[in-house]
Structure 1
Amino acid sequence: MKRLIVFKILFCVFASILHVSFVNSEPVNVESNKQLFIDFFLIDSYTNVELVMNPPVKRGVVIEGEHPWESIGVGSYGEVIDDGGLYRMWYESSGKEWDPEKNDYAPKGVTCYATSLDGIKWEKPFLHIQEFQGNMDNNIVLDFVHHGTVFKDPTAPPNQRYKTVIYNDDIVYCHGAYSPDGIHDWKFTDWRLNWLIDSQNMAFWDEQREKYVFYFRGWTRELLRTVVRFEADDFLKPWPLPKPGPNTLKKHDKLYPTITNEAKVVIKSDECDPRPSDFYNPSVVKYPAAPNVYFAFPSMFFHLPEPPMGIEINDDDFIYSYGTEPPYTHIPQHYDAPASPAMERRNVKTRNSGFLDIRLCTSRDGIHWKRDHREPYVSLGVEGEQDTGSLYMFVGMIIRGGKIYQYYTGNSNWHDGISERDPAIILLEQRLDGFVSADAAYEGGEIITKPIIFSGSELHLNINTSAIGSAVVGILDVDGNPFPDYDVPNCDVIRGNFIDKTVSWQDKSDVSKLAGKPVRLRFLMRGSKLFSFRFK
């Protein structure tokens, strides 16, 4: 009776579209892989449904400065790896160490290491590898920052299993490094890229493309940051970036050039974004739970007004900073940000000052990226909290059951500002597959997929109807005709919040007789969020 009542409600809403004509397209072979609704790739038709981004929940600080080499703060960059159930984190920190040339203590950046068994409580093992303030009792792996992103290479021999891109502020240029365990015996390539590429540049082995893929910082001729991408067959040989050309941006004669159009620009601001704003870092993740899903969580940087509101930086200061600060006199004065009373308090300097939050980009191949959701994925905290100024997402994520853990650095200071609270590493909790969902209206909504070919014997959904919503599923042939055993009226109504819900029709869930044949799925939902489906 319940099944009949719910179906009648949905039937009344969609009676006019039960017979839809389709343009037959080549079936998509989904096999038994999970399919996320990050875009309309698998959707042929929909009514009263929209794709909605779902921000994660902030769960609080998990790592903060507690040692001398962390006395200035932890972050901004880092990464996490699930290494066979041991969660491993590499993160940057800074403290003060004696500088004999200055005859004073000076800031010193390092790369540190932490481990966890639950992703919440993190330990900082003393590694006795690097010295800090004359002491080897620390968790320092590398004695500099901008270590890139450590990744585990499944194709490499044991002594090269862990790799990273190195960009050291002290040496300016970029090269590769490898280690047997990500901690000890780091070796560096004997070649280097003479490019100025500040920020957390990254690489990983993409099994889908069977290549190493790289995401680096780029710049436009208008001095706005972008994300560029290129590939390589061999991580340890010189990476295939062409030499600078006539259109390459060079911020100053004494500095290395910046990547402008020498690699494919894959993420950048556009005419829909406020001016001037840009993307600070890549933070790309190939989603481990689905083969054709890539996410990027770049920090979007809005630049605050130039002098006279801020302090003009001179050319000598620019050279001393290795060009990480743009030459402000070359930047058009276009912005639409009002003055803020907090600017003076936070030591705001010209256009390279501003605040950053974290955004979401999606892709099916890691090359073509979409920014369908322009709102923040991780928003700035409320004034007075840890993360009110600038946020940077760590690379990687940890999947624990129906939850995903992500991590970011929360700063109270804006870029180029003075920190009011020490930065810390903060835990985010996301639902499994929960980044984007297909949301049906309260009055009811419908999705019909493109033709798909599956393998398996059951259909499983990640879905949340909550208490008042509901959902039913039908399986159709490529022309839209329902298979009698799997028609919508026979579907057992789904109501509740499920990470892995088996769909059944009159208490039977076996769909194996349709495996290997082109079919369509029809979802009728009311007030529900559909995150993913898969056949098992």
Structure 2
Amino acid sequence: MKRFTKPGLSMLLGMYCALLAGEVVAEEPIDIGSRRELFVDRHLIGELEDAQLVLNRPRDMGSAVEFDAPWEGAFCGYCTIIKDGDTYRAYYRGLPQPRRDGSNSEVTCVAESTDGIAWTKPKLGLFKVDGSKENNVILANHAPFSHNFCPMLDTRDGVPADQRYKALAGTRKTGLVPFVSADGLSWKKLQDEPVITAGAFDSQNVPMWSESENQYVCYFRVFVDGIRRISRTTSKDFITWTEPVLMGYDGGPIEHLYTNQTSPYFRAPHIYVGIAARFFPGRRVLTPEQAKEVGVDPGYFNDCSDGVLITTRGGDQYSRTFPEGFVRPGIGLENWVSRTNYPALNVVQTGDDTMSFYVNQNYGQPTAHMRRYEIRLDGFASVRAPYTGGEMITKPLIFTGNQLDLNFATSAAGGIRIEIQDADGKPIPGFTLGDSQELIGNEISRAASWKGSKDVSKLAGKPVRLKFVMKDADLYALQFAGGK
């Protein structure tokens, strides 16, 4: 853990004089090892000149799963996507008519896919619903746990085979009760008693295994001064959890976040990415006549919602680097009703250079469904320079590896050059801008080079800064990795 101390007067004067003299003030280097680093926050950014950190827009790829079975319906919600080997599964609540939270009208359903694009609903034969076992239900007649059943795939080393899948579910009345499964389809309670009790729990409560923190983490709903907020608790065994801590925001406004959907990003698991449902109670867009026209339930058109990007690297702070909407409501009145545009939990790879996330849409309407959105790998956000050019210099960092791989895109006129500097900002001979080969193209991974060589191993373990000189280009991620 880094410790920050209040600088004394002499230190402040020294820093001020150094700045006046144009010197770079020494900073403690960030040890990134060989981890992939995304520009979803300002963690690595030291200086930006005529460049900016921008939020990118996902592509709407259309409906993925229609909630059209009799036991599913208009009030399906709280979706979770899990990729287990070659199988993708979507878990969600089925609820045809509005009922109180935690009734036996709720069931937990699953859809499956081999590519994350085309989905089917398996006939599992596990529970009788509407007089038949020919359904995709994995939990029924088990109130209140189908209200917000939220599963996870446990990737912890040594996890018992019959507990590869875990879940938390429950309401304020019951607390969160743990469930386990070997295959993600047949579930049982790990114990009857709740393991987390201090929360509102009237939303999706998100458990995960954190490789970087070597513990389980759960993010869940609380209310603070009437605002929907997020708390965090941790556990070593999924049974005993720490006292919850309210998550703060490193920048950005405090708004109603109905769901948080925080999970480790699969290509950089030390960065937790959340595509959260931002809720605006009482912000009504539709008139009663328009609500009747789209067929929304009369109780569900007085509010509106969208999806926002939140990130954290552990601890009790989220970075709300981008307060603007990441998932904007679509064209059409049906997209501007209450509790629609709620993102599902988890982002998964669905192509060689693309990933997908999913959004619960048309809530409270006969056309309720889960929609797929697509974006390039690592492409939530980027450092962008215009046609006239711009620069970014990183904070001092220490790395391991032999080469610097970049995820980037340029126009035909654009390009990126990279200079490696020492911690004081002085160009290192052999790695100057003049030595750098310009990167032109659009690639998920390409190694930078200087005078025809990609090898940076002699700089590994030493504090350095990276200077990017860019024109009409986006930089999404970087990673120091092994090379040939």
**Secondary structure in 2 aligned to 1:465?**
strand
Q: How does 1:517-528 map to 2 (within 5 A)?
A: 517-528=462-473
1:365 aligns with 2:365: no
- State how many pairs are aligned: 446
The structure 2 residue matched to 1:210, chosen from 211, 214, 217, is 214
- SS in structure 1 of the partner of residue 279 of structure 2: strand
Task: Report what 1:260 is aligned to.
Answer: none
Kindly report which structure 2 residues correspond to 1:11-26, keeping only aligned pairs within 5 A, or say none: 21-26=23-28
Give 2:236's aligned residue: 233
- Which of residues 356, 368, 389 is equivalent to 1:423? 368
Which of the residues 251, 264, 276 maps onto 2:245?
Answer: 264
| Pairing 1:7-46 to 2, within 5 Å after superposition | 21-46=23-48
Amino acid at match of 1:218: V
Q: Summarize the Cα distance change of 1:271–1:466 in structure 2 as closer, same or farther, 3 Å threshold.
A: closer
Question: Which letter does structure 2 place at the counterpart of 1:148?
Answer: F
Does the Cα contact within 8 Å between 1:447 and 1:522 map onto a contact in 2? Answer: yes
- Map residues 419-458 of structure 1 onto 2, 5 A cutoff: 419-458=364-403
Whole-angstrom CA distance in 1 between matches of 2:297 and 2:360: 20
Matched, 1:530 2:475: yes
Q: Which residue of 2 aligns with 1:395?
A: 345
Name the stretch that deviates more: 385-394 or 146-155. 385-394
Q: What is the alpha-carbon distance in structure 1 between the residues aligned to residue 424 and residue 200 of structure 2? A: 55
CA distance in 1, matches of 2:321, 2:298: 31
Moved more, 370-379 or 289-298: 289-298
Q: Which secondary structure does the structure 1 equivalent of 2:430 belong to? A: helix
Is the aligned partner of 1:135 residue 2:85? Answer: no
Show structure 1 runs of 5+ residues with no match: 1-18, 100-105, 242-262, 306-336, 414-418
Conserved? CA contact 1:474–1:521, under 8 Å: yes
After TM superposition, give the deviation of residue 347 of structure 1 in Å: 6.1
Q: CA deviation at 1:359?
A: 0.9
Contact 2:234–2:242, Cα closer than 8 Å, also in 1: yes
Matches of 1:82 and 1:433, distance apart in 2: 17
Alignment deviations for residues 358-392 of structure 1 (CA, whole Å, 9 cap, x no partner): 11112222521121211111111111566765211
**2:123 aligned counterpart, secondary structure:** coil
Letter in 2 for 1:372: T
8 Å Cα contact 2:138-2:187 kept in structure 1:
no
Residue 253 of structure 2 contacts residue 323 of structure 2 at CA under 8 Å; is this kept in 1?
A: no
**Residues 342 and 488 of structure 1: is their aligned pair in 2 closer, same or farther, counting only changes over 3 Å?**
farther
TM-score by length of 1: 0.76
Whole-angstrom distance in 2 between the partners of 1:272 and 1:521: 31
Partner residue in 2 for 1:405 = 356
Q: Cα distance, 1:509 vs. partner?
A: 1.5
Residue 420 of structure 2 is aligned with which of 475, 489, 494?
A: 475
SS of 2:266's equivalent in the other structure is: coil
Tell me by how many angstroms 1:284 deviates: 0.7
CA distance in 2: counterparts of 1:119 and 1:271, whole angstroms: 32
SS of corresponding position for 1:466: strand
Structure 2 Cα separation of the partners of residues 349 and 384 of structure 1 = 16
Map 1:16-415 onto structure 2 (within 5 A).
21-70=23-72, 72-73=73-74, 75-95=76-96, 108-143=105-140, 145-155=146-156, 156-167=159-170, 173-192=175-194, 196-220=200-224, 222-237=225-240, 239-241=241-243, 263-266=244-247, 272=253, 278-304=256-282, 340=287, 345=292, 353-365=302-314, 367-384=316-333, 390-399=340-349, 400-411=351-362, 413=363
- Is the contact made by 1:360 and 1:377 (CA closer than 8 Å) also made in structure 2? yes
The 3 A distance-change label for structure 1 pair 357 and 386 is closer
Relative distance call for 1:344 and 1:510 in structure 2 (3 A) is closer
Report the CA distance between 1:68 and its aligned residue: 2.4
Distance 2:446 2:24 in 1: 28
1:476–1:519 CA contact under 8 A, matched in 2: yes
1:107-163 CA-partner distances (Å, limit 9, x unpaired)? 922111222111101122211111101211111101162343211223321122211
2: CA distance between counterparts of 1:284 and 1:395? 7
Q: Which moved more, 1:77-86 or 1:146-155?
A: 146-155
| Alignment check: 8 A CA contact 1:226 1:269 kept | no
CA contact (8 A) 1:79 1:395 kept: yes
Look up the SS of the partner of 2:25 in the other structure: coil
Flag the structure with higher strand content: 2
- What SS does the corresponding residue of 2:454 show, helix, strand or coil? coil
Identity of aligned residues (%): 32
User: C-alpha separation between the residues in 2 aligned to 1:302 and 1:348?
Assistant: 17
Mean Cα deviation higher: 144-153 or 279-288? 144-153
Q: Is the 8 A contact 1:75 1:425 kept in 2?
A: no
d(CA) in 2 for partners of 1:481 and 1:271?
34
Aligned to 1:310: none
CA distance in 2: counterparts of 1:269 and 1:349, whole angstroms? 35
> 2:404 corresponds to which residue?
459
Shift of 1:272: 4.8
C-alpha distance in structure 2 between counterparts of 1:477 and 1:340, whole Å: 61
Kindly state the Cα deviation for residue 236 of structure 1 after the two structures are TM-superposed: 2.7
CA distance in 1, matches of 2:234, 2:56: 31
Over 3 Å counting, the alpha-carbon distance change for 1:206 and 1:500 in structure 2 is: same
Distance 1:408 1:281 in 2: 12
Q: Runs (4+) of structure 1 moved beyond 4 Å?
A: 193-196, 267-273, 337-344, 346-350, 384-389
TM-score (norm 2): 0.84
Specify every segment of 5 or more residues in structure 2 that has no aligned partner in the other structure, as ranges. Answer: 1-20
- Cα pair 1:348 1:354 within 8 Å, conserved: no
Q: Matched residue of 1:513: which SS?
A: helix
Matches of 1:59 and 1:461 in 2, distance apart? 27
